[in-house]
């Protein structure tokens, strides 16, 4: 339901933004929404109902957007009851993905079309919707835009290197790189241009693995990737300095491509250059959390020495088995470094009582030099002076946030693009190490010690350089800033 707010008649275009309803996608697309609002564009942001209630009850989105008279939320149903959350109650990613796709197709898709073709926007003071920016995983919105004869922009929230692999999928099959056997995991993949020298079978997106045969994710990704060809334009949350050669290849498929990332950096740059009082009154954190942020960790960080803490978080959908959970805990404690660990309440598969079996010494050691929360204000944490490293699942938002903050990474990828991202972090950008498929206490301890000790200098040199490049890309003469101006022009022409 739209929130009532006095709307001023506006000569500006009216863009409708529709994210896939999961945390990482909502975060980055809300950043885009705010960026467009700062540029004076009218924006309607469509959430699924359950996520929307969570966002409003937990986050700071209301105060963040109440200052933009051209901004409105709308909601569409998601097939979840009031007490359900999209990721709770699942014990495998397969079931989680299957359920999400099913509800999206059967419940959200028809409601989204109905919202757009109904009279809902006919009397809107901001004018009718003139352009739809849809998540690359919700391609049905492209069809609705075509029906309304307005342009559609597909926003891919994953890395360009991963999208490029998706686009090359038919070539992988044609050249015999796919399918592959479990014993081939370390074989090099030859049919993805730019990646021939370092991309192994194990670095392909997780749904490509033989162990994931019949996973609904692969069909879904292939369908959505070919669907996205019909979009009028594409947005990618990345920047030229790290992915230019890949973006050049992608333009042969998607000529109208705008690389405008890192969006968190672009948003901060626009906020600080904005002359209105909007920017100065905004909170530092720009995430829109579906979980309650525990800010006590910031006080704990304030008491720790500079660059001494490893921040540990595996994002919003990774599932960790009880065995992995114990291995990670031992590895962290044995590394002797301080750590701040986000343990999402619904994430680990430990059964009740299992925690109590874990040796008392682990709990004691954690009290001494560790701190645990259910959910953290991640961007603020990564930019805190006490944080010296990030033990991450390599989700693309987390990777970009770490890059912008200049924090080196130990990567433990779980699903989707994370396997590719972690390979790029370790082999191409060289700002971290990849722990892929190797979760045991010795490896965790070794990699954390290396990141915080022996390899720190070489990692930091490049991490600082990448952070500078990221900031430069969103400054006035930077590539992402220029691309964003071109995107604005495209959107303005759509009116």
**Catalytically active residues, by annotation:** 25, 135
Beta strands in 306-348 (DSSP E): 309-313, 338-342
Closer to ligand UDP by Cβ: residue 203 or 293: 293
Closer to ligand UDP by Cβ: residue 96 or 169: 96
Closest residue to bound ligand UDP by CB: 395
Min dist CB 343 to ligand UDP, Å, is 9
Closer to ligand UDP by Cβ: residue 72 or 467: 467
Closer to ligand UDP by Cβ: residue 292 or 365: 292
Min dist CB 267 to ligand UDP, Å, is 12
Min dist CB 23 to ligand UDP, Å, is 5
Closer to ligand UDP by Cβ: residue 24 or 331: 24
What is the three-class DSSP state of 46? Answer: strand
Closer to ligand UDP by Cβ: residue 189 or 282: 282
Residue 213 tokens read as: 């045969």
Min dist CB 445 to ligand UDP, Å, is 23
Closer to ligand UDP by Cβ: residue 70 or 315: 315
Min dist CB 375 to ligand UDP, Å, is 4
Min dist CB 494 to ligand UDP, Å, is 28
Closest CA to 160 of 116, 202, 193: 193
Taking residue 122's Cβ as centre, other Cβ atoms within 10 Å add up to 8
Min dist CB 416 to ligand UDP, Å, is 8
Min dist CB 424 to ligand UDP, Å, is 14
- 3-state helix/strand/coil string of the chain: CCCCCCCCCCCCCEEEEECCCCHHHHHHHHHHHHHHHHCCCEEEEEEEHHHHHHHHHHCCHHHHHCCCCCEEEEEECCCCCCCCCCCCCCCCHHHHHHHHHHHHHHHHHHHHHHHHHCCCCCCCCCCCCCEEEEECCCCHHHHHHHHHCCCEEEEECCCHHHHHHHHHHHHHHHCCCCCCCHHHCCCECCCCCCCCCCCEHHHCCHHHCHHHCCCHHHHHHHHHHHHHCCCCEEEECCCHHHHHHHHHHHCCCCCCEEECCCHHHHHHHHHHHCCCHHHHCCCCCCCCCCCCCCCHHHHHHHCCCCCCEEEEECCCCCCECHHHHHHHHHHHHHCCCEEEEECCCCCECCCCCHHHHCCHHHHHHHHHHEEEECCCCHHHHHCCCCEEEEEECCCHHHHHHHHHHCCCEEECCCCCCHHHHHHHHHHHCCCEEECCCCCCHHHHHHHHHHHHCCCHHHHHHHHHHHHHHHHHHCCCCCHHHHHHHHHHHHHHHCC
Closer to ligand UDP by Cβ: residue 378 or 422: 378
- Residue ranges binding ligand UDP (CB under 6 A): 23-24, 27, 287, 289, 313, 315-317, 342, 375-376, 378-379, 395-398, 401
Burial profile 405-418: b = 16 or more Cβ within 10 angstroms, e = fewer = bbbbbbbbbbbbbb
């Amino acid at each position: 339901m739209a929130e009532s707010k006095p709307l001023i008649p506006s000569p500006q275009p009216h863009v409708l933004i529709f994210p896939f309803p999961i945390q990482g996608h909502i975060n980055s697309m809300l950043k885009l929404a705010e960026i467009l609002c700062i540029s004076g564009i009218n924006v309607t942001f469509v959430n699924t109902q359950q996520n929307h209630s969570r966002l409003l009850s937990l986050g700071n989105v209301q105060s963040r957007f109440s200052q933009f008279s051209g901004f409105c939320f709308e909601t569409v149903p998601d097939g979840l009851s009031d007490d359900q959350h999209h990721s709770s109650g699942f014990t495998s990613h397969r079931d989680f993905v299957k359920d999400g796709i099913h509800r999206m197709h059967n419940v959200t898709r028809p409601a989204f079309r109905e919202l757009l073709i109904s009279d809902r926007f006919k009397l809107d003071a901001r004018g009718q919707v003139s352009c739809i920016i849809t998540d690359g995983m919700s391609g049905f919105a492209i069809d609705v835009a075509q029906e309304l004869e307005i342009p559609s922009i597909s926003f891919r929230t994953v890395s360009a290197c991963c999208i490029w692999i998706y686009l090359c999928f038919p070539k992988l099959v044609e050249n015999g790189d796919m399918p592959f056997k479990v014993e081939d995991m370390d074989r090099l993949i030859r049919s993805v241009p730019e990646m021939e020298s370092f991309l192994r079978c194990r670095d392909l997106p997780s749904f490509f693995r033989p162990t994931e045969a019949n996973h609904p994710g692969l069909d879904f990704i292939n369908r959505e990737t070919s669907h996205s060809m019909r979009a009028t334009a594409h947005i990618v949350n990345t920047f030229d300095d790290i992915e230019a050669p890949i973006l050049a290849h992608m333009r042969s498929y998607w000529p109208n491509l705008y690389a405008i990332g890192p969006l968190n950096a672009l948003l901060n740059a626009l906020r600080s250059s904005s002359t209105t009082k909007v920017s100065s009154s905004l909170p530092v954190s720009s995430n829109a959390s579906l979980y309650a942020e525990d800010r006590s960790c910031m006080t704990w960080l304030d008491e720790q020495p500079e660059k001494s803490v490893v921040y540990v978080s595996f994002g919003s959908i990774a599932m960790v088995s009880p065995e992995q959970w114990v291995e990670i805990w031992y590895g962290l404690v044995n590394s002797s470094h301080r750590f701040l660990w986000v343990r999402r309440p619904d994430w680990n598969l430990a059964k009740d009582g299992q925690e109590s079996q874990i040796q008392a010494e682990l709990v004691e050691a954690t009290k001494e030099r560790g701190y645990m929360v259910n959910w953290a204000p991640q961007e603020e944490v990564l930019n805190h002076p006490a944080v010296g490293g990030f033990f991450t699942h390599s989700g693309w938002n987390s990777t970009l946030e770490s890059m912008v903050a200049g924090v080196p990474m130990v990567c433990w990828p779980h699903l989707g693009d994370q396997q590719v991202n972690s390979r790029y972090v370790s082999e191409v950008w060289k700002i971290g190490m990849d722990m892929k498929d190797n979760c045991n206490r010795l490896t965790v301890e070794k990699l954390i010690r290396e990141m915080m000790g022996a390899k720190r200098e070489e990692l930091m040199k490049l991490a600082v350089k990448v952070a500078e490049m990221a900031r430069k890309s969103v400054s006035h003469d930077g590539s992402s800033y220029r691309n964003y101006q071109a995107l604005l022009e495209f959107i303005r022409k759509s009116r």
